[in-house]
Amino acid sequence: MAALSLPSRIVIGTAASAIAVAALIHLAMMFLHVAPSNTLSKQQSGLISDYVYPEYEQNWKLFAPNPLQQNTDVQVRAQLRTPDGTSRTTGWTDLTARDGQAILHNPLPSHTQQNQLRRGWELLSSTLDAQNRPAGDRGEMFARYLRRIAMLRMSGEWTKNGDRVAEIQFRSQTTAVLPPPWSAEKVSDKPVYRVLPWWQITATDLPEGATNK
């Protein structure tokens, strides 16, 4: 440092201070997020959540006593209106598989790619009634969130020929994780589907960057 000029030392010192402050803020936010509820975390819950989600989400589902034992893929299809007035239904698109391909061999995958769709589906699933319809205001909010994700990701493909998206439908495909070869446990490898009703697409379901001609 002594060999550096004064401006260089100032720049390095400023940068080091900024990094230290950023690291302290990050550690403080993560501590408040995982620590037991307290006065500060309750008062600043909105700020903490905005910082943590979705990039720094924490959960314990990897560990005992209840590690994840299933793979759940979220799939979507659409009912399209063509320019000549007819309608057609697309095939199912596996959004989860696309996320998996996006992070495959990526040493620094985005938490948005890993968690945006997965967490959205988990939240929606927790509100579905016996007819697989979202219940209450929270259910409707989560359903709208899923529709916006689908339209953001798929509207370009669905409308490239001038078609308009009239309705979309979600389903989940759940497959058990097979036990290791040395285990005597028997698990079915047949997928189980949960099919939701068709949802009409309105202007509120179109996030920035999505189109519906």
pLDDT band at 145 (very low <50, low <70, confident <90, very high): very high
Per-residue tokens: 192: 């189980």
The model's pTM is 0.71
Instruction: Give which of 201, 121, 196, 195 is closest to 159, Cα–Cα.
Output: 201
Scored b (16 or more CB within 10 A) or e, 66-91 reads eeeeeebbbbbbbbbbeeeeeeeebe
Residues 81 and 134 grouped into a single domain: yes
Give the pLDDT confidence of 197-213 residue by residue, as tens digits.
999 999 888 877 677 77
Q: Same domain, yes or no, for 17 and 94? A: no
Could you list the residue range(s) of the whole structural domain that residue 191 is in?
A: 70-205
Domain count, the chain: 2
Distance CA 142, CA 116 (A): 12
65 domain residue, yes or no: no
Same domain, 185 and 92: yes
Lowest mean per-residue pLDDT among 130-134, 185-189, 196-200: 185-189
Are residues 126 and 153 part of one domain? Answer: yes
Helices (H), strands (E): how many in the chain?
Answer: 6, 6
Residue 211 lies in a domain: no
Residue 59 lies in a domain: no
pLDDT at 80: 95
pLDDT tens column, 66-101? 566 889 999 999 999 999 989 999 999 999 999 999
Same domain, 130 and 28: no
Whether residue 187 sits in one domain with residue 120 = yes
Indicate whether 104 belongs to any domain.
yes
State whether residue 30 is helix, strand or coil.
helix
Structural domain contains residue 213: no
48 and 92 assigned to the same domain: no
Looking at the structure, tell me whether residues 29 and 133 fall in a common domain.
Answer: no
- Does the pLDDT at position 1 exceed 90? no
* Residues 36, 77 share a domain: no
For residues 122 and 132, what is the distance between their CA atoms, to the nearest angstrom?
13
**What's the pLDDT score for residue 101?**
92
Do 176 and 118 belong together in one domain? yes
pLDDT higher than 90, residue 142 = yes
Residue 21 maps to a domain: yes
Residue 23 lies in a domain: yes
Average pLDDT estimate for 157-173: 94
